[in-house]
Amino acid sequence: MNTFPNAQEGAGEKVNHPFIVALDFPTAEDVKTFLQPFQHESLFVKVGMELYYQEGPEIIRYLKEQGHRIFLDLKLHDIPNTVKRAMQGLACLGVDLVNVHAAGGMKMMEAALEGLDAGTPSGESRPYCIAVTQLTSTNEQMLREQLLIERSMEETVLHYASLAHKSGLDGVVCSAKEVPLIRQAFGESFLTVTPGIRVATDEKNDQARVVTPYEARKLGASAIVVGRSITRAADSYAAYERLQREWNGEEQK
């Protein structure tokens, strides 16, 4: 079974197969209210554009102080020099995982790693860096008609993953549906971080390629990212526990 970076021997499922909670909130106050029932849990959280653009590095410092591991999901996509310099700045925040869009190309992805290496304080390890292949909100029709990509979703995701792999990145963001192909091509240590997670009763919202936590685990995903199924649930803590049990294979849905 594949393990996630920083996996600790004997630490169990929560650390080795992270369940990443997307903190898609507009303010730090909203985050603090949401996290209240989780006071005694050390979570793996995701800070995305909505929260980071409002609250900046301060929210990262706060979450680290609370003992949470952090995926800073800013999906950088720009010319190589800009991405390198931006990553150099982000490296000092001490987050665990950052990302770029593979569509930026290999030079850009290599530049992202150079920036991270240059900005990581000495004695610390750089954050893991992964690339978005195709957003989980994209379906085959959008691929063809809007992005003018004629290959299938699977071929496209695999190609973008190969660019990330050749560039030296640590893994990709994809749908769990594409994980078996990626695992077969690049092995167990290449990370597959998979959003677009829903249980059967959930609204899909804007997601197109959705998978349940149980299926994601069976397909071999390194980690799942779950947002609204928890953050918009009437009882977020109960939803977290239920989905976590599914991800850990204790309950099948």
Ligand X SMILES: O=c1ccn([C@@H]2O[C@H](COP(=O)(O)O)[C@@H](O)[C@H]2O)c(=O)[nH]1
CB of 76 to ligand X, least distance (A): 13
SS (H, E, C) the chain: CCCCCCCCCCCCHHHHCCEEEECCCCCHHHHHHHHHHHCCCCCEEEEEHHHHHHHCHHHHHHHHHCCCEEEEEEEECCCHHHHHHHHHHHHCCCCCEEEEEHHHCHHHHHHHHHHHHHHCCCCCCCCEEEEECCCCCCCHHHHHHCCCCCCCHHHHHHHHHHHHHHCCCCEEECCHHHHHHHHHHHCCCCEEEECCECCCCCCCCCCCCCECHHHHHHHCCCEEEECHHHHCCCCHHHHHHHHHHHHCCCCCC
| Interface pick for ligand X out of 18, 21, 22, 182 (rule CB under 6 A) | 22
| Interface pick for ligand X out of 135, 211, 219, 223 (rule CB under 6 A) | 135
Catalytic residues: 73, 75, 78
- Per-residue contact flags (x/-) with ligand X for residues 33 to 52, judged by CB under 6 A: ---------------x----
Which residue positions form the known binding site for substrate?
A: 24, 46, 73-82, 136, 198, 207, 227-228
Q: Write out the binding residues for ligand X, residues 178-197 only, by CB under 6 A.
A: 195-197
| Interface pick for ligand X out of 2, 88, 192, 207 (rule CB under 6 A) | 207
**228 interacts with ligand X by CB under 6 A:** yes
CB of 129 to ligand X, least distance (A): 15
**136 interacts with ligand X by CB under 6 A:** yes
Span interacting with ligand X, options 63-71, 184-192, 225-233, 244-252, rule CB under 6 A: 225-233
Nearer to ligand X (CB atom), residue 85 or residue 245: 245
Q: Could you list the residues that contact ligand X (CB under 6 A)?
A: 22, 24, 48, 132, 135-136, 173, 195-197, 205, 207, 225-229
